[in-house]
């Protein structure tokens, strides 16, 4: 459709073309009549000769050839990483050595620019907040993952081979569930996220008791203190460990204000919930592990990459550690 200030509408173009083609006017005379250039008049006359009235409509300005378009192999790699790891344009660009705008253009072309095209949408408006200084608020939570059986699990080997490895591991360890089904245990990843910097701290344990949770909190506070950050508040859900007397006593001993999320409202602790998704996509399920020991050994490397090298879109595309401090030895 023509824009509001267009000199020629499709109907005016038709009249102009007919003056030249059907009535023998020169392009210069017809152009003067409609107050356009003679090149414009000649263009619409030629369109009328070739296509008659159908040629008077607007056409797309998209070029027929794009010699500088992103090569197909690179596009396939972008699509693969987007669907496999659900990375955004900034981390994808950093990983592939491209401009974020180039990656975004490819994702839009393939209709993958929104994660809602790949996953469920939350269905509610997003409310964002951020504390002004590191240590103003720490988010804490636990991510539960089934242990990887010896030989690998079903995600990469399939159900049949995964079940065989699970049963063999259960026979070795002697673990059984209440219904006598083989069990290989659960990995409880205790995670701590600084609200301002998004720096992550995590430990893997075999339970989520109050003793374990308070131990993780003490070590996380000490870890931040070693980097010049004083912890003032901690936000947790209403799990039994965080409602215990030991948790409140530990927070009082550390001089930390204890805060709780609204019941049945995980969005209140959304930063750490989103980190758990990144944790699963970037570490827990990103590649094949032949044992739980191998997966646990890979966690420190993931945390280092997340904190020191991975661009974080919520803080302007920089790595979280750059918001925590400016000490050079913390960025290598």
CATH number of the domain enclosing 192 = 3.30.420.10
The pLDDT value recorded for residue 2 is 59
Residue 325: which domain range?
A: 138-147+185-330
The pLDDT value recorded for residue 116 is 67
Plot region of 315 (φ>0 → left; ψ -120 to 50 → alpha; else → beta)? alpha
The pLDDT value recorded for residue 147 is 92
* 32 within domain boundaries: yes
The pLDDT value recorded for residue 51 is 86
Residues 49 and 78 in one domain: no
- Residues written for the chain: 332
Residues 100 and 249 in one domain: no
* Separation CA 80–CA 10 (nearest Å): 44
The pLDDT value recorded for residue 331 is 45
pLDDT tens, per residue, the chain with 332 residues: 456 566 788 888 888 889 888 888 888 888 888 888 888 889 889 989 888 888 888 878 888 888 888 889 999 999 988 888 888 899 999 999 999 999 999 999 888 888 766 655 554 555 677 888 999 999 999 999 999 999 998 888 898 998 898 888 888 877 776 556 667 889 999 999 999 999 999 999 999 999 999 999 999 999 999 999 999 999 999 999 999 999 999 999 999 999 998 887 777 888 999 999 999 999 999 999 999 999 999 999 999 999 999 999 888 889 999 988 644 444 44
DSSP secondary structure of 178-231 = TTS-B---EEEEEEEEETTT--EEEEEES---HHHHHHHHHHHHHHHHTTT---
Q: At what angle do helices 38-51 and 27-34 cross, to 10 degrees?
A: 110
* Separation CA 241–CA 237 (nearest Å): 9
Q: What CATH number should be reported for the domain holding residue 77? A: 1.10.10
Instruction: Kindly report whether the global pTM for this prediction surpasses the value 0.75.
Output: no
Number of other CB atoms surrounding residue 127 within 10 Å: 8
For the chain, how far is it from start to end, CA to CA, in angstroms? 55
* 167 within domain boundaries: no
* 67 within domain boundaries: no
* 125 within domain boundaries: no
Nearest to 6 by CA among 34, 38, 46: 34
Give me the residues paired with residue 312 across strands: 318
Structure-block tokens of residue 230? 């004083």
- Count the domains in the chain: 3
Query: What 8-state DSSP symbol labels residue 270?
Result: H
DSSP secondary structure of 95-131 = HHT--HHHHHHHHHHTT-SSGGGTS----S-------
Number of other CB atoms surrounding residue 180 within 10 Å: 7
Residues 290 and 142 in one domain: yes
* Separation CA 81–CA 75 (nearest Å): 10
Residue pair 30/21 in contact (Cβ under 8 Å)? The answer is no
Residues 16 and 111 in one domain: no
Residues 207 and 103 in one domain: no
Residue pair 99/90 in contact (Cβ under 8 Å)? The answer is no
The pLDDT value recorded for residue 178 is 59
The pLDDT value recorded for residue 184 is 85
* 25 within domain boundaries: yes
Residue pair 173/184 in contact (Cβ under 8 Å)? The answer is yes
* 291 within domain boundaries: yes
Structure-block tokens of residue 141? 């939570």
Residues 311 and 191 in one domain: yes
Residues 142 and 286 in one domain: yes
Q: Across 232-284, where does the E strand assignment appear?
A: 233-236, 257-260
Residue pair 262/268 in contact (Cβ under 8 Å)? The answer is yes
């Amino acid at each position: 459709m023509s824009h509001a200030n267009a000199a020629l509408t499709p109907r005016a173009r038709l009249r102009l073309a007919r003056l030249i083609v059907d009535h023998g006017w020169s392009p210069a005379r017809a152009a003067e009549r409609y107050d356009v250039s003679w090149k414009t008049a000649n263009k619409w006359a030629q369109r009328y000769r070739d296509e008659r009235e159908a040629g008077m409509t607007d056409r797309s300005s998209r070029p027929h050839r794009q010699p500088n378009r992103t090569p197909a192999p690179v596009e396939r790699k972008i699509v693969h990483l987007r669907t496999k790891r659900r990375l955004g344009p900034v981390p994808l660009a950093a990983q592939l050595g491209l401009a974020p705008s180039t990656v975004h253009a490819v994702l839009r072309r393939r209709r993958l620019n929104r994660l809602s095209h790949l996953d469920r949408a939350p269905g509610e408006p997003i409310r964002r907040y951020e504390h002004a200084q590191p240590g103003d608020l720490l988010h804490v939570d636990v991510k539960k993952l089934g242990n990887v059986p010896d030989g690998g699990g079903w995600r990469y080997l399939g159900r049949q081979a995964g079940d065989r490895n699970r049963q063999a591991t259960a026979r070795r360890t002697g673990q059984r569930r209440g219904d006598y089904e083989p069990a290989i245990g659960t990995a409880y990843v205790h995670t701590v996220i600084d609200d301002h910097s998004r720096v992550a701290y995590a430990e893997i344990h075999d339970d989520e008791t109050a003793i374990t949770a308070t131990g993780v909190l003490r070590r996380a506070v000490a870890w931040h203190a070693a980097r010049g950050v004083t912890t003032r508040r901690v936000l947790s859900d209403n799990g039994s460990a965080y409602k215990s007397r030991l948790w409140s006593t530990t927070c009082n001993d550390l001089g930390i204000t204890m805060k709780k999320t609204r019941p049945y409202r995980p969005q209140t602790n959304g930063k750490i919930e989103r980190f758990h998704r990144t944790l699963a996509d970037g570490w827990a399920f990103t590649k094949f592990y032949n044992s739980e020991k191998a997966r646990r050994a890979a966690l420190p490397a993931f945390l280092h990459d997340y904190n020191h090298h991975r661009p974080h879109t919520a803080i302007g595309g920089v790595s979280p550690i750059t918001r925590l401090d400016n000490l050079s030895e913390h960025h290598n």
